[in-house]
């Protein structure tokens, strides 16, 4: 099927309805129009018909994205996340599927666990004793629109599809407070946080691997804009210089030379929050510090009586164990489940015990443990009754969580569909918090 047919397919009302139900209904955040899912669904068929008709005719108009700032730590510029309206998110999600199908033979969308597993095996085999880690400066905001469109046009010629993409990446992101600034178009970069952001990043960098591998004998790994090259130590500096020059000349990207490093694998290879050694897989100290701070934050909130005891324990268990929701795995432990340096997990279990003593709380029964969670994830994830699997909860269990833990009572308790909707919406908000604990790992 060619790109034009994929475009028609994914913007058909039936496909848009499926995308909304599967991907947006419970995960939608409020955009600049302040419309929530329940209001959007009062005219769902009409909204879907409008998206289909406007996109396919090339007349779709975006609402400016709502700005959300995420701290990257003291002294660092925050990440700017762009939040689209629900209608725009639906249109963008369909475009993501369109790009996935069109560029299936070009892009590599390997799961993070697959990338980590491949690196682990390569380091253990010891075929390469050197490495180069590339850090691109402000990658998303630096993407050159002309170069990106040139790569997209290799497979997409339909003018309505190109126009939609241009409108999506040039729509500006504004603060939702105060008076709205004058309209302006982004002339560079891809807004971060859109459903198409990562796949556009993959398309933009898709041919970088070949440029490196055609010139050097290396093992190349990329996860979006995080790049690791295993190589012979004698060539590491040459490869680093080649990457810096190639990214500048061919991709119009600057490399952060203070964070772009080379070295020998025996000293550890830092990548994606992990550190790969010949005899073990550990994690970066900053990754451990982040989960420690996240856990202590809960103890402080409870000490100040800002959350109930039930909600405190529930959130603490989520921090420790993560959760499975909508068949996806979320949380710090799922992300770092490929570590083998288990002394970190024993320390975290000790730290939780320490916080209970320090803050004067009685440790409850049923509290999760990092070490046990690790063994369940690595040995028994599909049938575990210890892990938090929200997909397996009955409606009665969901109702108890909503009422007893979150204090939600102003709804019809006999409406099974409504209970499921409220529960999923509540859990996806918790997932956003869990995802924050593993951000900025590069």
Question: In this structure, which long-range contacts are made by residues 275-284, counting pairs with CB atoms below 8 Å and at least 24 apart in sequence?
Answer: 276/119, 276/120, 276/123, 277/123, 278/123, 278/124, 278/126, 280/340, 280/341, 281/116, 281/120, 281/338, 281/339, 281/340, 281/341, 282/339, 282/340, 282/341, 282/344, 283/336, 283/339, 283/341, 283/344, 284/441
Distance CA 171, CA 107 (A): 25
Name which residue leads in pLDDT, 377 or 176.
377
Helix (H, G, I), strand (E, B) or coil at 412: coil
Q: What is the model's pLDDT at position 296?
A: 97
Distance CA 198, CA 203 (A): 9
Is residue 323 within 8 Å of residue 427, measured between CB atoms? yes
Is residue 368 within 8 Å of residue 321, measured between CB atoms? yes
Distance CA 12, CA 1 (A): 16
* pLDDT above 70 (res 421): yes
Which tokens belong to 169? 């990446």
* E strand segments, 27-112: 65-70, 79-83
* pLDDT above 90 (res 170): yes
Helix (H, G, I), strand (E, B) or coil at 361: coil
pLDDT tens sequence across 236-264: 999 999 999 999 999 999 999 889 999 99
Q: Which residues pair with 271 in a beta bridge?
A: 274
Sheet with 173-174: list strands edge to edge.
79-83, 65-70, 173-174
Q: What confidence category does residue 436 fall into, taking pLDDT thresholds of 50, 70 and 90?
A: confident
* pLDDT above 70 (res 424): yes
Of 165-179, 340-354, 383-397, the least confident: 165-179
Q: Which H or E element spans position 334? A: helix 332-335
* pLDDT above 60 (res 287): yes
Is residue 10 within 8 Å of residue 97, measured between CB atoms? yes
What proportion of the chain, given as a percentage, has pLDDT over 70?
A: 98
Output DSSP code: residue 385: S
Q: What is the model's pLDDT at position 420?
A: 85
Q: What is the model's pLDDT at position 78?
A: 83
CA atoms within 13 A on the CB side of 354: 9
Is residue 67 within 8 Å of residue 175, measured between CB atoms? yes
Q: Which H or E element spans position 271? A: strand 269-271
Longest dimension (CA), the chain: 69
Distance CA 379, CA 373 (A): 10
* pLDDT above 80 (res 178): no
Q: What is the model's pLDDT at position 221?
A: 94
Domains detected in the chain: 2-105+145-187 (no CATH), 112-139+202-278 (3.30.70.270), 285-437 (no CATH)
- Alpha-carbon distances of 212 from 136, 206, 374, 434, rounded to whole Å: 16, 12, 36, 35
pLDDT tens sequence across 402-411: 999 999 888 7
Region 323-347: mean pLDDT is: 94
* E strand segments, 299-407: 323-325, 328-330
Helix (H, G, I), strand (E, B) or coil at 377: helix
* E strand segments, 71-110: 79-83
Distance CA 406, CA 419 (A): 13
Q: What is the model's pLDDT at position 275?
A: 95
Q: What confidence category does residue 70 fall into, taking pLDDT thresholds of 50, 70 and 90?
A: confident
Q: Which residues contact 175 (CB under 8 A, 6 or more apart)?
A: 67
* pLDDT above 70 (res 442): no
Q: Which residues pair with 220 in a beta bridge?
A: 229
* pLDDT above 60 (res 441): no
Distance CA 106, CA 100 (A): 9
Is residue 274 within 8 Å of residue 284, measured between CB atoms? yes
* pLDDT above 90 (res 213): yes
Q: What is the model's pLDDT at position 192?
A: 94
Q: What is the model's pLDDT at position 432?
A: 83
| C-alpha of 226 from chain center | 13
- Strand 281-283 and strand 226-231: the pairing is unpaired
The top-scoring range by mean pLDDT among 36-40, 87-91, 172-176 is: 87-91
Which tokens belong to 73? 């730590």
Q: What confidence category does residue 412 fall into, taking pLDDT thresholds of 50, 70 and 90?
A: confident
């Amino acid at each position: 099927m060619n790109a034009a047919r994929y475009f028609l397919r994914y913007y058909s009302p039936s496909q848009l309805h499926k995308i909304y139900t599967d991907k947006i209904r419970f995960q939608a955040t409020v955009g600049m129009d302040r419309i929530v899912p329940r209001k959007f669904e009062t005219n769902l068929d009409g909204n879907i018909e409008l998206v289909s008709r406007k996109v396919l005719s090339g007349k779709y108009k975006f609402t400016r994205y709502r700005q959300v700032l995420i701290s990257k730590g003291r002294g660092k510029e925050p990440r700017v996340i762009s939040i689209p309206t629900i209608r725009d998110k639906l249109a963008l999600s369909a475009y993501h599927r369109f790009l996935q199908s069109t560029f299936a033979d070009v892009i590599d969308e390997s799961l993070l666990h697959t990338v980590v597993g491949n690196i682990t095996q390569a380091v253990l085999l010891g075929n390469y004793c050197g490495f180069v880690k590339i850090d691109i400066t402000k990658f998303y905001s630096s993407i050159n629109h002309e170069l990106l469109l040139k790569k997209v046009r290799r497979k997409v010629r339909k003018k309505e599809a190109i126009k939609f993409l241009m409108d999506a990446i040039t729509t500006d992101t504004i603060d939702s407070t105060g008076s709205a600034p004058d309209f302006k178009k982004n002339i560079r970069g891809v807004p971060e946080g859109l459903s198409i952001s990562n796949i556009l990043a993959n398309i933009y960098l898709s041919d970088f691997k070949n440029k490196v591998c055609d010139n050097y004998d290396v093992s190349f790994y990329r996860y979006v804009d995080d790049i690791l090259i295993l190589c012979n130590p004698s060539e590491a500096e040459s490869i680093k210089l080649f990457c810096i020059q190639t990214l500048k000349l061919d991709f119009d990207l600057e490399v952060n030379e203070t964070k772009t490093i080379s070295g020998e694998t025996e000293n550890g290879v830092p990548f994606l929050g992990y550190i790969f050694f010949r005899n073990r897989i550990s994690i970066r100290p900053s990754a451990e510090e982040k989960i420690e701070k996240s856990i202590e934050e809960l103890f402080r909130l409870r000490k100040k009586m800002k959350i109930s005891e039930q909600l405190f324990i529930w959130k603490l268990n989520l921090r420790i164990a993560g959760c499975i929701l909508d068949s996806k795995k979320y949380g710090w432990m799922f992300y770092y489940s490929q570590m083998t340096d288990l002394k970190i997990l024993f320390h975290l279990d000790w730290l939780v015990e320490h916080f209970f003593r320090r803050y004067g709380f009685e440790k409850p029964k049923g509290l999760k443990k990092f070490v046990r969670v690790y063994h369940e994830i690595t040995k028994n994830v599909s049938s575990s009754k210890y892990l938090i699997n929200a997909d397996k909860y009955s409606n009665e269990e969901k109702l108890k969580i909503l009422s007893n833990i979150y204090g939600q009572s102003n709804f019809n308790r006999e409406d099974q569909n409504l209970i499921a909707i409220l529960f999923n919406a509540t859990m996806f908000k918790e997932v956003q918090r869990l995802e924050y604990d593993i951000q900025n790992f590069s």
